[in-house]
Amino acid sequence: MAKSQRMTKQKTAILEILRSVESHPTAEWIYQEARKKIPGLSLGTVYRNLNQLRDNGEISELEFGSHQSRFDGNRDNHYHFCCTECGKVYDIHMPLIKSIENRARAASSFTVTGHRLEFFGVCNDCLEMKKAI
Ligand code: ZN
Ligand code: MN
């Protein structure tokens, strides 16, 4: 069996957790969830499995500045919004802007095969919190 197809029990559990949520959780959160199913699981093992899943293209790692990395089990290209206050990452449900790739091609000599787009701002929860103060 190819390396990428080999699925350990831990890896399957981690993938299932990630596929079931839209919250783009941190490794720490995934660890807390996964250990309910796999007692004795270590945070190091979770990190190692997350790295492998990312390298195999099963999940993506989202990094926004100083905030902790978050993970996404949705493999389809889609856009994200990152709150600069709390670091939460939300999906933005909008059609992909494919024309931006043509513009990048026109502006460079590169073979552009895709793009990634991230938005920043303040989420509604943080906005409410600011109003309450
Ligand atoms: Zn926020
Ligand atoms: Mn997402």
**What is the average pLDDT across 51-61?**
95
- Which ligand approaches the C-alpha of residue 122 most closely? 1
Going from the Cα of 133 to the center of ligand 2, the distance in angstroms, rounded, reads 30
What are 16-52's pLDDT values in tens digits?
Answer: 999 999 999 999 999 999 999 999 999 999 999 999 9
Element of type H or E holding 7 = none
pTM, two decimal places: 0.82
Q: Could you give the CA distance from residue 10 to residue 45 in angstroms, rounded to a whole number? A: 8
Q: Are strands 70-72 and 118-121 parallel, antiparallel or unpaired?
A: unpaired
Going from the Cα of 58 to the center of ligand 2, the distance in angstroms, rounded, reads 13
Going from the Cα of 74 to the center of ligand 2, the distance in angstroms, rounded, reads 6
